[in-house]
Amino acid sequence: MKILMLNYEFPPIGGGAGHAHRCLLDEYSRRADMQVDVLTSHPGTGLVIEAFAPNIRIFKVGIRKKNMHYWTRPEIVEWLWKARRLHVKLLSENAYHLCHAFFAFPTGWLCWRTAGQLPYILSLRGSDVPGYNVRLGLDYALLAGLFRRIWSGASLIAANSRGLCQLAKRFMPNLDIAVIPNGVDTRCYHPAPQRKTGGPINLLSVGRLIARKRIDWLIDAVGVAVQKGLDVRLTIVGEGNLLAELRKKAVDLNLSDRVVLMGLVGRQQMPEVYRANDIFVMASQHEGMSNAMLEAIASGLPVVTTPCEGAEELIGDNGILVAYPDAQEFAAAVSAIMTDPNKYDAMSKAGRAIAETFSWSAVARQYIDHYEHLMR
């Protein structure tokens, strides 16, 4: 089978969707019966063509990106304008069986325009679902009609969590929407051989430093935990447009010795980062399915998080959901986990068991089953 995949962001641009796409390509690279072309972007000028694997080519359209983890409207328009021409060229030169778009918009718009030539499927990732991103409220209202046409024209729509599926169904209640979750490499991400005892409580948060992640509240919550007598340290991994603001907040709250903003950390170093910490914390307003949370629970970390899409699939006996913006409840949850070694160990094992039910090979198999069904 020959597949054309589209994603307007791909590492190093973007966040979880680009990472998930790359992991899916890793699985596809092991299949001799597949050929895949990917149309995406890169920070720079011109067209870059990379051989991801013998059976996978990546076509990267150069974009004048100002921030690797934040898209402006002019940047999206620039990518659509440049990618549109290459998309048409690829269709004319290759006999693809179908098109697979990550994000219904902007990426899915290209597939919708050529639906008469090639059927397409959509992978909903989060910000392409109305109601997900508060910053895009006006965009959702203005583009609602176009969104409905793009979604209606798809041969398959798949959300990456039940929560995101429910949010999508509020927008178009009559559509059938499948759920194909993210995966995690449980060989790479695994618990430390022996958990440390004593010393400070090491909290870890991983994600883009953007408003939707509510990292500022995590810093506030650390301040409350310190006031309650907890010896906590918060390590924040990620980049984004709020980096300087968050650093200033930590200084203003006299927490600069307890809050460490590491910036971007290479994928190869991340397994050790997870294993060096005690609890994974997240305060996102919305998520599809958090890759970072999957990696954390695979690494044996209990989780303290606010409720959001995807949490119901990943949080059971392995974590505690706290109400936003109740920082007192956050501190109490951290204390409850760390003061009871038996509770900690039980949560760690429960999280690992959950993570082992999510694999990228299973994700790839689900998509391939859909590909084959559409081809038949």
Q: Is residue 333 part of a domain?
A: yes
Same-domain status, 317 and 345: yes
Contact, 106 vs 76, CB < 8 A? Answer: yes
Same-domain status, 157 and 249: no
CA distance 42 to 56: 17
Q: Is residue 195 part of a domain?
A: no
Same-domain status, 113 and 223: no
Same-domain status, 371 and 342: no
| pLDDT at position 301 | 97
Q: Is residue 196 part of a domain?
A: no
Contact, 196 vs 205, CB < 8 A? Answer: no
Same-domain status, 238 and 339: yes
What are the DSSP calls for 158-179, one per residue? EESSHHHHHHHHHHSTTS--EE
Determine whether 10 is exposed, middle or buried from the number of CB atoms within 10 Å of its CB (0-12, 13-18, 19+).
buried
Same-domain status, 158 and 64: yes
Q: What is the CA radius of gyration of the chain?
A: 21
Q: Cα angle at 99 between 71 and 140, to 5 degrees?
A: 40
Q: What is the pLDDT along the chain (376 residues), one digit of tens a residue?
A: 999 999 999 999 988 899 999 999 999 999 999 999 999 999 999 999 999 999 999 999 999 998 888 889 999 999 999 999 999 999 999 999 999 999 999 999 999 999 999 999 999 999 999 999 888 989 999 999 999 999 999 999 999 999 999 999 999 999 999 999 999 999 999 999 887 777 899 999 999 999 999 999 999 999 999 999 999 999 999 998 899 999 999 999 999 999 999 999 998 999 999 999 999 999 999 888 999 999 999 999 999 999 988 887 899 999 999 999 899 999 999 999 999 999 999 999 999 999 999 999 999 999 999 999 999 8
Which of 165, 172, 174, 120 minimizes the C-alpha distance to 146?
172
Q: Is residue 190 part of a domain?
A: no
Residue 121, domain extent:
2-183+359-375
Name the domain count of the chain. Answer: 2
Same-domain status, 298 and 211: yes
Q: What are phi and psi of 310, to 5 degrees?
A: 90, -25
Q: Is residue 193 part of a domain?
A: no
Which of 325, 321, 323 minimizes the C-alpha distance to 313?
321
Same-domain status, 139 and 10: yes
Q: Is residue 299 part of a domain?
A: yes
Q: Is residue 191 part of a domain?
A: no
Neighbouring C-alpha atoms within 13 Å toward the C-beta of 205: 27
- The token duo for 230 is 């907890």
Same-domain status, 252 and 312: yes
CA distance 155 to 152: 8
- The token duo for 313 is 């699939």
The dihedral formed by the CA atoms of 149, 154, 159 and 162, expressed in degrees to the nearest 10: 80
CATH number at residue 42: 3.40.50.2000
Which pairing describes strands 156-159 and 98-102: parallel, antiparallel, or unpaired? unpaired
Contact, 208 vs 218, CB < 8 A? Answer: no
Which of 235, 220, 212, 172 minimizes the C-alpha distance to 308?
212
Same-domain status, 327 and 364: no
Packed helices 16-28 and 360-375: angle between N→C axes, nearest 10 degrees: 70
pTM of this prediction exceeds 0.85: yes
Q: Is residue 67 part of a domain?
A: yes
Same-domain status, 217 and 137: no
| pLDDT at position 49 | 98
For residue 275, the one-letter residue type is R
| pLDDT at position 34 | 97
Same-domain status, 266 and 132: no
| pLDDT at position 172 | 97
